Structure formats: structure tokens, C-alpha cells
Chain A
Amino acid sequence: MTEWFQSVLGTGFGWFTATLILILLIALPLMLAVAMIIYADRKIWAAMALRRGPNVVGPFGLLQSFADGLKVFLQETIIPTAANRGIFLMAPIITFTVALIAWAVIPFGPGMVLADINVGLLYIFAVSSLGVYGVIMSGWASNSKYPFFSALRAAAQMVSYEVSIGFVLISVVLWAGTFNLSGIIEAQRAHVFGFINGFAFNPLLFPMAVVFLISALAETARAPFDLTEAESELVAGYQTEYSSMSFALFWLGEYANVILMCALNAILFWGGWLPPVDWAPLYLVPGIFWFFAKILFFFFVFSWVKATVPRFRYDQLMRLGWKVFLPLSLFWVFLVSGWLMLTRYS
């Protein structure tokens, strides 16, 4: 597509137009997906609590998220008098932007990737470590005690879990031999017994898949690690002072991040756009369907956890991060690199 635009509009401008269209092709469906996934989330919790969930707006309540969006859009944006105006308004924008830009390097199918850079995974890691700024800035700028507590909790929590996520990523990268996300997916083709696709089926990497899934819950501040917005202690955490669209941006950003983490689970451990087994008829299904199916499965797991697991205490959260996951993942980096030295590079 880029070539066609470049042939019509010239090199620079054609590239610009094509990239802009590709960005919109990712961002707009993502926003739609976020709306639908909020609906799915609520339906899943409702089903697990034997309730009906949203069922009024549209058929089966399908339009509930859009109704909520419209409602929020029509509300007044309230800025507290004592708030630090600039930072207060910047925080939701940062959260939202950071949640979107990470999608630039996600491969949706063979060759279907906006930016096929060779540091793709590092880029994702860098961007996901920025997510905490939206929370810290909003908590501080609100000039209110509960948001501030929430910001401090968020900062400590995200920094802690990033450490173990980093080591998990390193063990995956060691095995795949590349930081490029498409390369990582290709490395999983026929990975176990010559026909099962996915690093998670490798017994040496499976524990890392579990650690990554749990750390992803903590990194996106989902239950059971949602201490940043623990309503019984902190009202609504860092979002307490926000209203209208500034609140909606947090909301969208949060769910976009959740989908991103589901996508990363699929890419790093479950073969991304590859079918589960390396069997020719399965490749007739386009890769993007396998990818979306895996994302949806992990999203179901996220909702499932939220509906069933009680919230952690803060000291338990920190203990899990620093005393369990960090030594475990550090040891696993050692184990994986040792195994690779023994089998692949000797």
C-alpha cells in the first residue's frame, strides 16, 4: 500500500499518507475494540455473579459502552481549584497516548505490522514503563490525598513488576534470538516436538508464561492488584478528581493497555498469529483470526480473575513482586541461558 501511495503522491508525501491511513486503521478499530471489550468485561463479571449485566441499550445491551461514552462526553470537565491545571489535564492525555503508541509494533499477521523495527520488544517495554507517568501526574496534580496515595502506590507497584517482566522478556528473547516481535513469533513455529507452535508449551518457558501473565495483571493494575483504585480505601484512586472526557481518556487508556498485555501474552508465549499446531490446513485460516482469538481468550482470563480473586493486601503485592517473582525470573534467565549454551551454542 505504501508503494502505491508513493507512486501516486511522491515519496515523502505518499509515505506520510499511507502511514497515517495505517495508523488510523489500527487506532480506530482499537477504540471500537475497547468499547466492545468493556461491554464483554461487564457481561463476564455479571455471568460469574449470576447477574444479567448491561442489557438495556441496544440488542443484548451491545451499545452500552457507546451510551456511557456519550454520557461522559456531555458532562462538564471539572478542574479542582487547588489542582495544578497543566499537569492535571496532561495526565489523562499521556495515559491515553502511551496506551495507543505501543500498538505501532504489534504484528497482527505475517507482515501486517506498522513499524517492523528490530528493537520492537524493547520499544514495548519502554512504552509500558511510561504508563505510570499518567497515574503519578494525575495523583500529584489533583492535590487531594487519596489520589496522591494512589499515585505513590502505582509508582511503587509498576516499577516493582517491571523488573520481573524485564527478566521474563529476556528469557524469551534469549530463546528467540531477536527483539523483533515478528521474529519472536516465527521462532515459535513448530517449537515443541516439531509441530506445536508457542513458547508456552516448552516446559522450560512455561513458568515464565505464568509469571508474565500475573505481572501483566499487576502492570495494568487489574484485580487482584488494583490497589491504585481500591474503592474501599481510596475512593477511586488517581481518577477521583476527574470527570467527563478526562476521565474517559483514563478509562480508554486503561482498557487499551489491558488488550495490549493480552496481545503480548499471545505474541510472546502462545505463537501470535500462528495456529496452535503446525498443521497445513490450519494455516488456511488467516493469521489475524488466530491472533484475535488468543487476545480474546486472554481477555477472558483477565475478566475471570477479576470476577473471582479477592484484592491483595499491599504488602502481599510487594512481597510477590520482589521476593517471589524477581528471584524466580532471575534464576530462570540463568537456567534458560545455561540450557541454550548447552544445546544450541556448544
Chain B
Amino acid sequence: MIQAFAFYLFAAIVLLSGAMTVTSRNPVHSVLWLILAFFNAAGLMLIVGAEFIAMLLVIVYVGAVAVLFLFVVMMLDIDFAELRAGFARYAVFGTLVALVLAAEIVIAVGAWSAGSLALSQRVAPTPEGMSNIQAVGTLLYTRYLYIFEAAGVLLLVAMVGAIVLTHRTRSNTRSQSVPRQNARRPDEATRNVNQPVGVGVEL
């Protein structure tokens, strides 16, 4: 009973905050609603017994991705009138995307309930005497090792690509060398001058 209650609570909040993410006028509010949605999705994961995934969801999405989102969105200067002006122009395309998504959901549910296909994989219980993390680990590092490593390489390439694309050599900045700054002593950086009165200092 309590599981069902928790499920409906979390699910309802996910849906509600998802809707609020889309409809909020203020983009910062949108991101905050999105964060609430992530949280409750983590709660749903906890209910199905995937506490490792739940924690990762909070760490990765809430702790890192959403912080960067918020960081960027806070600095944007958004004109709401201008945003709403494009509504009619994008309405047709938007409806199309929504229709495609809705159709996909219907097909997915149909396939799920029809399924003689891979029935055993629908619910994969954690092996006896193994914690959640161990089960994920043994699967990732044995059966899916190559896929896992390929994903890692892909992320590395994406990271290198992002750096290469945004990197530019700047000519007008002064680069600081911290070891050199630390090695500097007062007698190299300053000098005492015994200056006669009324005469300017030559620098």
C-alpha cells in the first residue's frame, strides 16, 4: 500500500514539475522545477530498488548538470515578449514533435503489454546475496565491457572536441605563472629610493 502511495506521489510530482518546467514564465523557475522532477525520478528509482541509479541521478543530474543549467540560465537576459512572439511560427512543428512522441509512447506501451519478446528481461532481479552496486558492476565490467569502454571513449572524444572547438589563442591576456609568482621575493619586486624633495621618481 505504502509503495503504491509513494509511487503515485512521486509520479504525480514528476508530471506536475515537468509541466511546470515547460509552462513557467521565468527560465530560472523552469530549471528549479526540472530539478524537482529529477529528485522525484530518483525517488521512483528508489521504489524499484535501484538505489545506486537513484543516487547517480541525484549526483550527476541534480548535482552537476542542473547546476550548470542554472548557472547559465541565471546569466541570460531573456525578453519574454520576444520569446512568446515566435509561438505561432513554431506551433506547427511543435505539434508535430508532440504527435510523434505520443505515437511512440503508444507503440512502446503496446509492445510492452504484447511482449512474448524477451519476457525474462522485463524484470531482472538482483542476483541473490549481491548488493545493487555489485550487480551493476559485475554486469558492466564483464558482459558489457566493450560497450562500456566505447561509451567512455565517446565521452572523451566529445570532451576533446568541445575543448578544440572553443579553444582560441588570445593575444591580449597576461598569463600568470603561479610558481613564478610564489618565487618572487620583495627585493626583486621593490626598491627603496632615497629621493630628494621636489623631484619626481623615475620609474
Contacts and interface: CB of A to CB of B under 8 A. Distances in A.
Interface of A: 12, 84, 87, 117-119, 122-123, 125-126, 129-130, 132-133, 136-137, 140, 148, 151-152, 155-156, 158-159, 162, 179, 315-316, 319
Interface residues of B toward A: which range?
Answer: 20 to 34
A123 B176 CA distance: 38
A129 B51 contact: no
A319 B178 contact: yes
B74 A140 contact: yes
Interface in B1-59: 2, 26, 28-29, 32, 35, 51-52, 55-56, 58-59
A162 B176 contact: no
B132 A118 contact: yes
Interface of B: 2, 26, 28-29, 32, 35, 51-52, 55-56, 58-59, 62-64, 67-68, 70-71, 74-75, 131-133, 176, 178
- Majority-rule SS of A interface residues: helix
Contacts of A136: 67, 70-71, 74
Nearest to A177: B134
Nearest to B132: A118
Contacts, number: 70
A110 B63 CA distance: 31
Contacts of A162: 63-64
B67 A132 contact: yes
Nearest to A118: B131
B62 A151 contact: no
15 contacts: A117-B51, A118-B131, A118-B132, A119-B132, A122-B56, A125-B59, A126-B63, A129-B58, A129-B63, A129-B67, A137-B32, A140-B74, A152-B75, A159-B64, A162-B64
**Which A-B residue pairs are the 4 nearest by beta carbons?**
A129-B63, A122-B55, A126-B58, A118-B131
A126 B67 contact: no
Nearest to B66: A133
Nearest to B74: A140
A118 B64 contact: no
Contacts of A148: 74
Nearest to B62: A130
B62 A119 contact: no
Contacts of B70: 133, 136, 140, 155
